Each structure stands twice: as structure tokens, then as C-alpha cells.
Structure 1
Amino acid sequence: MKRTNFYVLLLALALFFTHHTASAVVIDITPVEQTVTLGDSVSVDIFISGLTDSNALGDFDFDLFFDSSILGLTSVSFGNQLGDSLQDSSSGSGWANLNELSWESALDLVANQANSFSLATLTFNTLSIGTSEFFFDTIWALGDQNGDWLDGDFNKGLVNVIDSTTPIPEPSSLLLLALGLLGVSLQRRARR
């Protein structure tokens, strides 16, 4: 009897851990680092990878932070890999909340979704010179096709905003010496 209870417990634990095994996905900001000129606009993509042929993304909801003294959010555009879905974004000074919930069936999501794709594109105006880091703070939801939680690694991004003035190159000293010698020789000819 004890041996049977042990095997039943062992089988139950095995089923529990195989059923609740989480897939680790990666959420990146692409490009990871970029440099732009003050006054230009800049766009970053929120990109997911690490999904499998049997595992799809069904929903996400997270907060992305940035330096509002350097960048001002102007638009958010969602991707299309969650199919028919509810998409929403909100923002404030230095943050943006992005969320999307798919209405597609689990089977349709698994069959039609790529293993990696863009969740959204954010466009910013550059406001001042400096470096703004993008980072994820609160992850409210990251669910698979069944609504189960997906484990994720969230990576950071950087935008460097540089001065728009172009430095004026100074003439080389050899050119100045040649012009000076030409001037002296022209002056001698003029005296003759």
C-alpha cells in the first residue's frame, strides 16, 4: 500500500511539473542602442522572441520607462501577430503602458503566430542632448495562448541624443603655409 501511494505521489508530481513548465521568452528593445541628432524623431520596437511552435503569446501588459527630459513620446503602433485583439496604450511623463489582449482561439494563435515578432513601435521626439535608457518596470501581464503566465527576460535599450551643430573644419597648416608663400611671391612680382 505504501509503495502504491509513493508511485501515485510521484506520478502526480511529474504531471504537475510537466503541466506547469513555463516557457522563457525574451522581450527586447530594438535597436539596443542608437544615436540620433537633436530635433530628429527616433523609433524603437518592442520585440518578443523565444516562442515555440506549441506556445504563443495571448496577452501582454507592461510599463516602459524613459527619460522625459530627453525624449517625448509622440505615437504608439501595435503589431499584428495577436490577430483580432484589444489594444491600448497610455502614457505620462517618462512612462508608457502598453497592453494587448487577443480574441483569437488558442489553436489559431499557435497556428498563425511567428516565434518572434514586434509587439509595438514607439516614436519619440528628441527634446535635449543626453542619453535616455528604456527599461521595463511593472509587468502586469505576459500570457500564453491559454492565459497562463509566461516567464520573460526583459532587456533594456538606449538612445543617445547628440548636438545638431556641425563643427567647421579648420584649414590645415600646410595649406596656410602654401597660401602664405604664394602671397609673398605675388607681392614680389608686383613690386618689380
Structure 2
Amino acid sequence: MKKIFACLLALGLILSLNANAISIDLITDKNATSIGETIELQVRINGLDDATALGSYDVNFHYDENLFSISSISWGDAVQGNQLDLLGFGSLQDSSSNLGWLNMLEVSFDEIADLELLQAGEFTLFSVLLNTIAIGSGDFSLTTNAIGDAYGQDLFIDSISNTTVNTSEVTVSEPAGMLLLLGAIAFVALRNKASQHKQ
């Protein structure tokens, strides 16, 4: 009987720990693109609750600089707003980059109680817009330097997901290709006709 009780207790503890698992996901708007197009990657956190709010983060966003170049970055969630600036007091924001990585740091100025009460359980930390510059398969990943809760204590992240985007040459669809060919034939025909009139 004691063994069964111990097993049930252990199982309940495991399930309760997994119920509040906090993860960070890299989400792209497309997994395949062509040279010259742009892609957007969102860095999203989820699994927060009333007792656990995010107060700060310092992360490195890694990308393949041979395939992509950074166009712009935006802080916060496009729909929910910046969840580290809930009351409009602002937040400390800093970014720096080098070939293949982008460091993003943000610290909230909001009160602990406001972060715990008002912050969403899932939201975008920041988004990165990238230009596709070459053909290949590009991996995107994230490493954490520091993740802090509303009190400034280390916040344990259970998992961080990566993503891959494949790039290819610009393809011209058949109707567009036929229009180009017909246009070239019409241009040559008109040019020949004009040169005959001059003679």
C-alpha cells in the first residue's frame, strides 16, 4: 500500500511540474522562401501563470548569415502589446548584433504585482524580419544568457525550440514566363516593322 501511495505521489508531482512548463519557441511565418523575399521569426514564451511572470530576458538569436540578413527587429507582441511594458512606463531595451547572431535584452519597469496580475501566459518577446540572400537550408536557434521573473530571480525554461527555413531560387510561373516570351516576340516584330517603314 505504501508503494502505491509513493508512486501516486511521485506521479502527481511530475504532472504538476509539467503543467507549468515554461518554453520559448521560434515561430516563422514560412518554412520555405526564395531569394529576395523576407521572412519573419517570432520569439514566443509560453507557460507563464499568475504566480510566475517574466520580468527580464537576455538572449542570443542565431541565424545563418550566408543565407539571411537582418532587416529589422520589433519589441513585444503585435496583438497583445509589449508584455514587459504593461502600464506604459517603458522598459530597458538593448540589442546588438554581429555576423550570425543578434543579442536582445529587455528589463521591465512594471511593478511585480502588475506583472503577475496583468501579464499574459503566452506572448511574443520580439520579432526579427530577415531578407533571404542565398540558396540553402538555414537553421535558427536561441540561447539564453539570463531569464528573470518579476522578482529578478532566475526563471527556469523547460525547453527552447529551434526552426529551419529552406530557400530556393526565384521561380517564374509558367503563365508569367509565357507572357515574357510573347512580349519579347511582339517587341521584335514591332521593331522589324518599324525598320521596314524607315527603308
TM-score range with shorter-chain normalisation? 0.7 to 0.9
Q: Deviations over 1:123-144 (max 9, x none)?
A: 001110111111123x211011
Q: 1:159 maps to which residue?
A: 165
SS at match of 1:151: coil
Q: Name stretches of at least 5 consecutive residues in structure 1 with no aligned partner.
A: 1-20, 170-192
The question of 1:125 aligning with 2:131 is answered yes
CA distance in 1, matches of 2:91, 2:26: 22
Kept after mapping to 1: 8 A contact 2:29/2:39: no
TM-score of the two chains, using structure 1 as the length reference = 0.72
TM-score of the two chains, using structure 2 as the length reference = 0.70
Pairwise mapping of residues 82-97 of structure 1 onto structure 2 (< 5 A)?
Answer: 82-83=84-85, 84-97=90-103
Q: Deviations over 1:10-48 (max 9, x none)?
A: xxxxxxxxxxx9x64100001386111210111110000
Percent identity, aligned pairs only?
35
Match of 1:35 among 32, 36, 55: 32
Q: Deviations over 1:52-106 (max 9, x none)?
A: 1221100000111110000001111110100121111111111000110001111
Two-structure CA RMSD over aligned residues (Å): 2.2
Larger Rg: 1
Query: Aligned residue pairs: how many?
Result: 150
Q: 1:145 maps to which residue?
A: 150
Kept after mapping to 2: 8 A contact 1:45/1:118: yes
Q: Which runs of 4+ in 1 moved over 3 A?
A: none
Q: Normalized per residue, which structure has more strand?
A: 1
Kept after mapping to 2: 8 A contact 1:86/1:102: yes
Q: 1:73 maps to which residue?
A: 70
Kept after mapping to 2: 8 A contact 1:32/1:157: no
Q: Name stretches of at least 5 consecutive residues in structure 2 with no aligned partner.
A: 1-16, 77-81, 176-199
CA distance in 2, matches of 1:145, 1:34: 34
